Structure 1
Amino acid sequence: MKCDQCNAQFDSKNKNFCPECGADLSEQREKESVRKKKAKKKTLILGIPILVVIAVITTFFFIGKGKFTPEKTLTAFEEAVEQEDTSRLASLLISTQDSFEITEDNVARFITYLKDNPAAYEELLSKLNSQVEIINSNSDGNNGTAYLDDVYGTVNITKSGKEWFLFDGYQLQVIPSFVKLNTKNKDVQLLINGEVAGKSDKEDFSDTYGPLMPGAYEVTASYKNDYSEVENTHVMELFNLGQDTMEQSFQLPLGEITVESLLDGYTLAVNGEKTDIQIEEGEQQIGTFPTDGSVAFSFHKEFPWGEVSSDEQAVESDYIGLDTVNALTPDMQTSIMEQLNTTISEYHQALTKKDTSIMKTGVTDNMKQSLVERQKEVEKEEPGYEGKLIQAIYDLEEISNPKFNEDMDAYTITMRAHYVFHEPVDSLGWLLADREKDEYTRPRELQLIYDEEAEQWKLDSYKNEYFIITSSDEKVFDL
């Protein structure tokens, strides 16, 4: 012990006074006790923060060690997919390409693909789990069969630097891919999932689009003009590809259509809808149309007696012929032939009774004058002539196609008929004769003119002409 008064060193055991100076040691011992207590308390106070810091660091380490693991990253991925949480999954993914932006829209498409394709989803999870094992088994974390080179349309889990300055970080990397679309046709729109990606500006067109998130994509080639449309759609699965680009080729059933027409002044209709395309006599190209039968052409023309239309023709090649259009409906044709039966009957009644005024049904002034001249000839050569029309046989091939006569400024029809007359006194000529019945058949060519003012077909000429009518083309009236 050391005396506070004289600094003498001595053994303080059983001593109450300093052996050198006689100072009272009890007061000194009391002060020493107080000093030791204060020192101990100070040491304790200083030690608490250190312990706290050690505890915080220890907690921080164990929290970080548990938080930043590849297993946690993979679990978060699975939860986001199962819950279809596009926002969370988008935050977990990064792209290996700067040009590829990860959005909630393309993440939603990725989730939909995984949900719709459970086998593909299981395949992806199996690969990611293998990658987690590799990460945990070595310091590199990017070696092993689970990290295949040149695999596109997929997701990998890899180390990504440090988190909280101490712990390894992990991220899910998207390896996007591209689609290459080819088409043989020009002016074809190319769409990916309904959105226009491009348009072919030439034949044998090809272009590449992307990068795209792994998943399934509808790719469509579509051609439209003012009158028709054709398209072709395929589904492309951009998942675990061995190359960065997947190709799809299109060859739409399109052709540059040529119409060869024997008729003039018709309007083209496509699937029953009229166009502004006018068809003239001869050969002309009318544009590009589908040739798969999905489009049908018909031809229409306005005549003074009404509009006429051809039958529809399905377009199945790049050539369409327009040869004949029945400008007169079957009912119109029958009405004309019945009117002619009346006119010819009146003609021969007039010759029999020598009264030209009898012929008045559907005739032109020219025809009336022709009857006057014919009556003079018959009266001179066959004064006792009697004749009655008993049968008319018309050639249907000659009635269906009226033509416009520039000189007459009117539509005309040239018809052919075999008329059978009962002529008991004298015959005015014959092709066939049944003398026992006094029945004579004469072939006649008739020209009719359409009178627009009267809205009626009128007989303009009636003359002999030798020809045969086949049974397939004839229409017979027994009178």
Structure 2
Amino acid sequence: MERFCTQCGTKSTGLDECPSCGNKLNTKIENKNTGKTFSFSKKQKVIGGILAGVLLLGFVANQVISSLTSPERAVDQLITAINEEDSVELAALLKPATSSLEVTEETIPPLIKLIKNETATIDHIERDLNAQLTSINGAYASEAEEVFSQYGTMFSLEEKDGLFGGYHFVIEPQYLNLSSNYEGTEISVNGEHVHTTSIDSEYTEYGPLVPGIYEIEAIFEGEYTTLSDSQNISLYVPGDYPNPVDAGIYLSGEYIRVEGNFSEAEVYLNGESTGATLSELYELGPVPTDGSLEIFTSLDLPWGTAQSETIAIESPGGYYFEIDVMDSDVQETLIETINNYGHTSALATMERDSSLIENATHNLLAEREETIESMIEDERLYDVLEMIRSYDADGFDVFLDSDQEWNAHVDLQVDFLSIYYDEEDSLDEVEHDWSTSTWRYGLIYDANEDKWLIDDMHNPWSGWFSSFSPAETIDFEYQF
């Protein structure tokens, strides 16, 4: 049987190659049904080789892609990223369960800290992921139910959508309840200010956050001191809708009570006025108790200003601020007022003229006028030669009465050489005698006249069991 070249059509010479183009002529396929032999051209063989290569490449690529996108590989990548603390890789592997949850390289470190700091967590994660793999592969996970019920699932293995598929891990959002016991407290989470407490709400919900360890810091800038505290919160509550974790911080501040002998006294802190009186403040706090806070009270008087002792606050509790309004100047003024009244009152009695009396209130002046009028009616005269006033050095007291008027009490003894006699008697014929009287003078400060006035005199030592016995006296002697 003659053969011809299938490539160029040249008649064969009996060799296996075409004498014209060199095409091989001995490739044959025998048809079992017909017994005929088919020959493939070079072009057909090239195309066949390409198709076979493509099929092989596709098979290999499929095997490679399946390997790269398998759930087992995804689990290995997650565990490796956790162990290597690779925030970038973890962020790529995780998918937030809600669009509001931010999962980025910057938000991952608290999660790594939580897993690395709590050994039970990484153990739980590995057991949980293996249980999920077992379930995905269709087998019964003997530990799955136990793991899920005890810890919940932090990373839920989920197949990706798309052409190449693969797996990622769904992570649920977490929330914090932020609160503090002082209104106006600034609260920060991991160094970022997130909330200022108010009296309107007991707490505020903050989130969503990835599970993790978060540092919660509270700072209260008080009027007298600054309070601060912080705590680390392990934030992980299993479940699709986790309840917020309480992250309240109780700030402990020290308080003091301030009292004194004048509730109207103004309170000063470290030399600066608070603008409030003792009665308006009563309790101060929170305050430092390291001695850095010094307190005194000041009282404006009609004749000047008086101040208490300065006290450094070194412990909580009560502090009493006593203002001594009886200084040497006030004492001297009171003595001058009484001496002047006593002198002019004696002259007025001798002259029987009440207009000579000085430093007396209208009430006392009316009493003295009545006494002098009685002397005139009874035709009596009075004469004094010498008078000694002895003031109790500790017998001076200045105070506010219920009407908020300044009063004073002064204790003294008066010794005088004098005589009351009838008009018909001659002064040369009468004999002067020494007599002693003890008095408590009552004075009122007259704001209109800007001076002290004598209002009354009485003897509080008239009983059997009391007497005027000062330890020290201030003496004045007068000659008439």
TM-score by length of 1: 0.59
Match of 1:421 among 414, 418, 432: 414
The one of 438, 444, 458 equivalent to 1:442 is: 438
Of residues 161, 174, 178 in structure 1, which corresponds to 2:175?
178
What amino acid maps onto 1:336 in structure 2? V
Residues 20-49 of structure 1, C-alpha deviations (whole Å, 9 max, x = no match)? xxxx97377653893326957445533442
2:126 corresponding residue in structure 1: 129
Distance between the aligned counterparts of 1:25 and 1:220, measured in 2? 98
Give me the identity figure in percent.
Answer: 17
One-letter identity of the residue aligned with 1:201: D
Q: Deviations over 1:249-302 (max 9, x none)?
A: 788899xxxx9999897778789865677899xxx9x99x98777799997665
- Is the alpha carbon distance of 1:49 and 1:227 closer, same or farther for their aligned partners in structure 2, counting shifts above 3 Å? same
Contact 1:215 1:238 survives alignment (8 Å): yes
Instruction: Name the SS of the counterpart of 1:414 in structure 2.
Output: strand
Within the alignment, does 1:336 sit opposite 2:335 as a pair? no
| Aligned residue runs from structure 1 range 279-294, under 5 A | none
**Residue 408 of structure 1 corresponds to which residue in structure 2?**
none
CA contact (8 A) 1:352 1:387 kept: no
The alignment partner of 2:168 has SS state of: strand
SS in structure 1 of the partner of residue 154 of structure 2: strand
Q: Distance in 1 between matches of 2:77 and 2:108?
A: 15
Number of residue pairs aligned between Structure 1 and Structure 2: 406
* Distance in 1 (alpha carbons) for counterparts of 2:17 and 2:250: 109
Residue matched to 2:8: none
Which segments of 5 or more consecutive residues in structure 1 lack a partner in the other structure? 5-23, 357-362, 406-411, 428-437
Aligned-pair CA distance for 1:158? 0.9
Change (3 A) 1:110 1:30: closer
Gap runs ≥5 in structure 2: 5-10, 28-39, 352-357, 421-433, 476-480
What CA distance in whole angstroms lies between the structure 1 residues aligned with 2:134 and 2:176?
Answer: 37
Quick one: distance in 2 between partners of 1:293 and 1:403?
33
- How big is the shift at 1:448? 4.2
What is the match of residue 423 of structure 2? Answer: none
Deviations, residues 195-231 of structure 1 (Å, cap 9, x unaligned):
12774537xx566554332123456788889899878
Distance across 1 between alignment mates of 2:400 and 2:152? 65
TM-score (norm 2): 0.59
Q: Is residue 386 of structure 1 aligned with residue 386 of structure 2?
A: yes
1:233-252 to structure 2, matched below 5 A, reads 235-240=232-237, 244-247=243-246
The correspondence for 1:35, drawn from 8, 12, 23, is 23
SS at match of 1:36: coil
How far has the Cα of 1:399 moved from its partner? 0.8
CA contact (8 A) 1:341 1:392 kept: no
Deviation (angstroms), 1:174: 1.4
Q: C-alpha distance in 2, partners of 1:3/1:248?
A: 95
* Partners of 2:214 and 2:235 within 8 A in 1: yes
Contact kept, 8 Å, 1:187 with 1:201, in 2: the verdict is: no
Match of 2:431 in 1: none
Q: C-alpha displacement at 1:383, in angstroms?
A: 1.7
- Which residue does 1:196 correspond to in 2? 195
CA pair 49-262 structure 1, distance change in 2 beyond 3 A: same
Q: Deviations over 1:326-355 (max 9, x none)?
A: 6xx537533211332344445556678999
Query: Would you say the 8 A contact 2:266–2:277 is kept in 1?
Result: yes
1:234 and 1:29 mapped to 2: Cα distance?
A: 92
1:384-408 residue CA offsets vs partner (Å, 9 max, x unmatched): 4421223325555x41437888xxx
* 1:157-306 aligned within 5 A: 157-161=156-160, 165=164, 169-180=166-177, 191=187, 193=189, 194-196=193-195, 199=198, 201=200, 205=202, 208-217=205-214, 235-240=232-237, 244-247=243-246, 302-305=300-303
**Residue number in structure 2 paired with 1:360:** none
Q: Deviations 1:368-424 (Å, cap 9, x if unpaired)?
A: x969979988xx65524421223325555x41437888xxxxxx5321122023446
2:392 and 2:237 mapped to 1: Cα distance?
A: 81
User: CA 1:84–1:190 in structure 2 vs 1: closer, same or farther (change >3 Å)?
Assistant: same
